[in-house]
Amino acid sequence: MASTIGSRRFNWGERTFVMGIVNLSPDSFSGDGLSATGDALAQAKRFAAEGADIIDAGGESTKPNYEQIPINEEIARVIPAIEKIRRELDVPVSIDSYKYEVVKEAIRAGIDIINDIWGLQKEPRLANLAAKYNLPIILTSNQRGHPADSDIMGAVIRDLERAVGVCERAGVPPENIIVDPGIGFGKSREQNFEVIHCLAMLKKLGRPILLGVSRKSFIGTAPDLPTDERIEGSAAANAIGIANGADIIRIHDVKFMTRMAKICDAIVRRKYG
């Protein structure tokens, strides 16, 4: 399966694609929140130079127990940055938002992908926008508010099947639907590790798989690891995810993780050059 995103062709399975995170939120869990549009553009340019295939821009923190900000504030944070990035880079840009009005403004600003961390639970109309504007949409399995006590993979797969069904009924082409198991979204520490271990089970959905583990708190809970130094743990979790079928990794440390992904591809996909 292949997808055209922006001006680029993504042949899924050929290699691991890298999504670089640009946070326009001052309370980002990872401490990398930006407040200035110019800083966001500079970071996006650096990520593109370091090998990012997609830039993911978001204006609201989605860490556990996050506080939802007003729609107009989220628009004010993220849309000027997206406009600048689109003017100066040809790398595809995604909007990390589950709010209909924010996504509509981001489409006007030129985004190429919708990234919905609620997997159409909060706003199913995002599927209609994806269909209308022929945009890929990332569907995240989110268990916040309804945690799965057992069989986390069963819960994730059922949730993603529901979200994929919403997209299909809205007319989103199959190649424009990307699934994300939702590491950190309403899952326990053990469930996060289990999802990565069993990631290959998502292949039954027949969609590209995005994995977002970068700097997340569960990494700091492994034995004898510092809670506030997570780059090595993020690399390990991403490497196992690639081995188990991840097509895209969503990351903060683009240069480091891009190099790691190339080694993983040489081993897993036998891509040597």
Neighbours of 133 (CB within 10 A): 13
Q: How far is Cα 23 from Cα 59, in angstroms, rounded to an integer?
A: 6
* Nearest alpha-carbon partner for 19 in 244, 273, 222, 208: 208
8 A C-beta contact, residue 218 and residue 183 = yes
8 A C-beta contact, residue 54 and residue 5 = yes
8 A C-beta contact, residue 234 and residue 257 = yes
Reading the block at residue 201, the tokens are: 């089970």
The answer to whether 216 is a known catalytic residue is: yes
Active-site choice (216, 255, 269, 270): 216
Between the alpha carbon of residue 209 and those of residues 66, 68, 92, 98, the distances in Å are 25, 27, 17, 19
The answer to whether 250 is a known catalytic residue is: yes
Active-site choice (250, 259, 269, 270): 250
Q: How far is Cα 178 from Cα 210, in angstroms, rounded to an integer?
A: 7
Task: Indicate which residues carry an active-site annotation.
Answer: 216, 250
